[in-house]
């Protein structure tokens, strides 16, 4: 996910690429000149593993092909995309395919399509005339339905004595199996101020399951390398790694995140690498990230005010457990002066206006502005009816705590429900779509200005006899514009961090080199963290109001996951004084690094 992928047509043998640019541009400056100007250079290669999807609910559908409509109940992150695919495969109008996803048991990037199982189930349903239920088993889920590609990630970074970066050279090779998209993202290109940059990102085709989006695709691999390299550069320059980031990172939001995070974490406790005494050594580390503000412009809602006082919001957008229904209800309730419980949210159904897919942290920034705008338009129409009855101007009216009032005449009051009875028809209905941000976009397809920054601090304990690494504490400072629901944001941060720790220490696809078969396609040998190893997690939510849309709110799913593994790796180095350039960081890799077992 470098932004602009090659099409796979160029390359030698099973190597395809490279990708050399993104929607933030291509190479810049002169790398040779940059490294000639450098007083200090870090040149390293970092390796990350293939990381498969492990949702509690596997991929699957129920298809009921009726005479007039194909009904599809799907575990999906994108009802509209599944509808469009099945309509295309079977030559049906989109109006003849209805996809519903009311609830689902986890989706982290791989559930955006109908897959191969969707058309299979539809064909069987058509031929049998009966509903067909087709869910993948756990082995099939591991093998066939996507993974985070691995990476061999070379970085060369130069800096002057004052810390200013002079050049960043990046080259990566990764495999997404039989697919493409095994890059290391854009993070090295855009997070730090550097005049000279170039990247080459290659895909290596192998006879293995295809890659798929996996919570900040590419950028997690990229951050693991970049953030370790920045730490190492700081050490060579004799600078504290947090202070060094203050010097080279121009983001005002991340500056605040570093300050507030360091205070809560007590970064001043950090000692020189490897200086802790005893068998169990403590270490502190930091890692940070950036993620674009993506907006899906094909995002629409319908807002209905019924003449019995009921309020309903509709969209095909799905709630995959992140709380989309709740924040939509909050936005409508605030605009209409009602309580959240008064709002009925009907989503996850393609018979409603098209909503965005749940990926790339796009949903909040895409669906909440049209939701508020629809409520505003419906409110205006309702207030005109009240104004006519009161013989006044609707601009003088307001709705608050379930009552319509007059700004200049306290005697004029009416309940919201009473106001709705003034309608001539059974409802007021408004459909609105996501408009451009105020002032436009960086890219017309929906790349908004600004970014979603994050800084995470990790504290670890490393047992130098056994090699076991325990993450004791994470402090995570994040921004997502206007936080609509802090409980849900903290839940997303917690989930991203737990997955980041799992990526750093546990998860890996084990392949038989002779047969090419995955050997741990189960939930027994595919290691994930259990409850006793989940650390204390403390979140800091930095509010940022840039006045770009009617809600100024954005998602948090991707940023919560990007820098965790890098922060853990930097903390492990601080504990033992030896850097680990490959994940997962296992007991064996710790003992090898400490020369306690044979290489």
Domain borders along the chain are 1-53+146-244, 60-142, 251-292+448-599, 300-433
Residue written as tokens 């799913």? 557
pTM: 0.96
Alpha carbon 349 to chain centroid, angstroms = 23
CATH level 3 topology of 251-292+448-599: Aldehyde Oxidoreductase; domain 4 (3.30.365)
Q: Over the Cα atoms of the chain, what is R_g?
A: 26
Task: With H, G, I as helix, E, B as strand and everything else as coil, classify residue 92.
Answer: coil
| The two domains 251-292+448-599 and 300-433 share their CATH topology (first three levels equal) | yes
Yes or no: say if 589 and 462 are a contact pair by the CB < 8 Å rule. no
CATH level 3 topology of 1-53+146-244: Aldehyde Oxidoreductase; domain 4 (3.30.365)
Per-residue pLDDT of the chain (599 residues; tens, 9 = 90+): 555 556 777 889 999 999 999 999 999 999 999 999 999 999 999 999 999 999 999 999 999 999 999 999 999 999 999 999 999 999 999 999 999 999 999 999 999 999 999 999 999 999 999 999 999 999 999 999 999 999 999 999 999 999 999 999 999 999 999 999 999 999 999 999 999 999 999 999 999 999 999 999 999 999 999 999 999 999 999 999 999 999 999 999 999 999 999 999 999 999 999 999 999 999 999 999 999 999 999 999 999 999 999 999 999 999 999 999 999 999 999 999 999 999 999 999 999 999 999 999 999 999 999 999 999 999 999 999 999 999 999 999 999 999 999 999 999 999 999 999 999 999 999 999 999 999 999 999 999 999 999 999 999 999 999 999 999 999 999 999 999 999 999 999 999 999 999 999 999 999 998 898 999 999 999 999 999 999 999 999 999 999 999 999 999 999 999 999 999 999 999 999 999 999 999 999 999 999 865 44
Geometric angle at alpha carbon 64, from 58 and 66, rounded to 5°: 160
Distance separating alpha carbons of residues 462 and 590, to the nearest angstrom: 9
Distance separating alpha carbons of residues 256 and 234, to the nearest angstrom: 20
Tell how strand 536-542 and strand 70-74 pair up: unpaired
Alpha carbon 34 to chain centroid, angstroms = 33
Structural tokens at position 477: 């400072």
CATH level 3 topology of 60-142: Aldehyde Oxidoreductase; domain 4 (3.30.365)
Which ranges of 90-159 does DSSP label H, i.e. alpha helix?
117-128, 138-144
Please tell me the class of the 300-433 domain: alpha beta
Yes or no: say if 334 and 377 are a contact pair by the CB < 8 Å rule. no
Structural tokens at position 311: 């309020």
């Amino acid at each position: 996910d470098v932004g602009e992928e090659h099409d796979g047509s160029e390359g030698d043998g099973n190597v395809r690429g490279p990708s050399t640019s993104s929607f933030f541009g291509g190479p810049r400056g002169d790398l040779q000149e940059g490294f000639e100007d450098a007083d200090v250079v870090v040149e390293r290669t970092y390796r990350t593993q293939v990381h498969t999807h492990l949702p509690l609910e596997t991929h699957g559908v129920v298809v009921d092909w009726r005479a007039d409509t194909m009904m599809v109940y799907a575990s999906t992150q994108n009802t509209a995309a599944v509808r469009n695919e099945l309509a295309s495969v079977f030559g049906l109008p989109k109006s003849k395919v209805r996809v519903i996803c009311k609830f689902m048991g986890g989706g982290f990037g791989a559930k955006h399509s109908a897959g191969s199982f969707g058309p299979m189930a539809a064909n069987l349903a058509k031929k049998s005339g009966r509903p067909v239920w087709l869910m993948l088993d756990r082995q099939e889920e591991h093998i066939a339905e996507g993974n985070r590609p691995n990476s061999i990630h070379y970085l060369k970074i130069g800096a002057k004595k004052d810390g200013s970066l002079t050049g960043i050279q990046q080259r990566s090779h990764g495999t997404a199996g039989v697919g493409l998209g095994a890059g290391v993202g854009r993070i090295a290109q855009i997070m730090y101020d550097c005049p000279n940059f170039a990247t080459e990102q290659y895909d290596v085709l192998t006879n293995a399951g295809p890659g798929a989006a996996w919570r900040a695709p590419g950028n997690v691999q990229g951050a693991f390398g970049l953030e370790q390299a920045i730490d190492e550069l700081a050490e060579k320059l004799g600078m504290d790694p947090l202070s060094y980031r203050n010097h080279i990172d121009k983001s005002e939001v991340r500056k605040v995140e570093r300050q507030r995070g360091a205070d809560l974490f007590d970064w001043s406790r950090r000692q020189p690498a490897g200086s802790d005494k005893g068998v169990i050594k403590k270490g502190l580390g930091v890692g940070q990230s950036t993620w674009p503000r993506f907006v899906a412009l094909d995002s629409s809602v319908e807002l209905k005010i019924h003449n019995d006082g009921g309020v309903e919001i509709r969209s095909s957008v799905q709630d995959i457990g992140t709380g989309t229904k709740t924040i939509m209800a909050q936005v409508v309730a605030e605009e209409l002066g009602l309580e959240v419980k008064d709002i009925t949210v009907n989503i996850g159904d393609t018979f409603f206006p098209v909503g965005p897919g749940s990926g790339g942290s796009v949903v909040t920034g895409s669906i909440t502005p049209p939701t508020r705008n629809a409520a505003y338009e419906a409110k205006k129409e309702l207030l005109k009816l009240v104004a006519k009855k009161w013989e006044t101007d609707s601009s003088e009216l307001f709705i608050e705590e379930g009552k319509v009032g007059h700004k200049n005449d306290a005697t004029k009051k009416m309940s919201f429900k009473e106001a709705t009875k003034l309608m001539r028809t059974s409802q007021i209905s408004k459909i609105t779509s996501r408009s451009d941000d105020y002032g436009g976009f960086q890219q017309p397809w929906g790349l908004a200005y600004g970014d979603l920054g994050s800084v995470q601090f990790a504290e670890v304990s490393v047992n130098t006899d056994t090699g076991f690494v325990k993450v004791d504490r994470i402090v995570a400072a994040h921004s997502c514009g206007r936080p609509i629901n802090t409980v849900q944001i903290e839940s997303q941060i917690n989930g991203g961090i737990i997955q980041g720790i799992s990526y750093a220490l546990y998860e890996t696809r084990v392949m038989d080199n002779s047969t090419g078969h995955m050997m741990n396609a189960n939930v027994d040998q595919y290691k994930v963290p259990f409850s006793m190893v989940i650390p204390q997690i403390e979140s800091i939510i930095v509010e940022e109001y840039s006045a770009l849309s009617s809600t100024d709110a954005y998602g948090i799913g991707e940023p919560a996951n990007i820098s965790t593994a890098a922060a853990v790796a930097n903390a492990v180095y601080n504990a033992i004084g030896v850097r680990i350039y490959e994940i997962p960081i296992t007991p064996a890799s710790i003992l090898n690094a400490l020369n306690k077992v044979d290489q």
